[in-house]
Homo-oligomer: A and B are copies of this chain.
Amino acid sequence: MMKAVSIESGEASKAIGHHGVNRGLSVFDLILRIVAIVGTLAGAVAMGTAEQTLPFVTQLVQFSAQYDDFDTFKLFVIVNAIICAYLALSLPFSIYHIMRSRAGKSRILLIFLDAIMLVLLTSGASAAAAIVYLAHNGNSSANWFSICQQYTDFCQRSAGSLIGSFGAMASLVLLIILSAVAISRR
Q: Which residues of A contact B (CB under 8 A)?
A: 64-66, 69-72, 115, 118-119, 122-124, 126-131, 133-135, 137, 139-145, 147, 173, 176
Contact = CB atoms under 8 A, between A and B. Distances in A.
Contacts of A130: 72, 126-128, 130-131
A172 to B, nearest CB: 10
Given A69-B141, A71-B133, 6 more contacts: A65-B142, A72-B134, A115-B115, A122-B123, A122-B126, A130-B131
30 contacts: A64-B141, A65-B141, A65-B142, A66-B141, A69-B139, A69-B140, A69-B141, A70-B141, A70-B142, A72-B130, A72-B134, A115-B115, A115-B176, A119-B122, A119-B173, A122-B123, A122-B126, A123-B126, A124-B126, A126-B127, A127-B129, A130-B130, A131-B134, A134-B134, A134-B144, A142-B144, A142-B147, A143-B147, A144-B144, A144-B145
A123 B119 CA distance: 8
Contacts of A147: 142-143
Q: Is the interface of A mostly helix, strand, loop or mixed?
A: helix
Contacts of A140: 69
A119 B119 CA distance: 6
A116 to B, nearest CB: 9
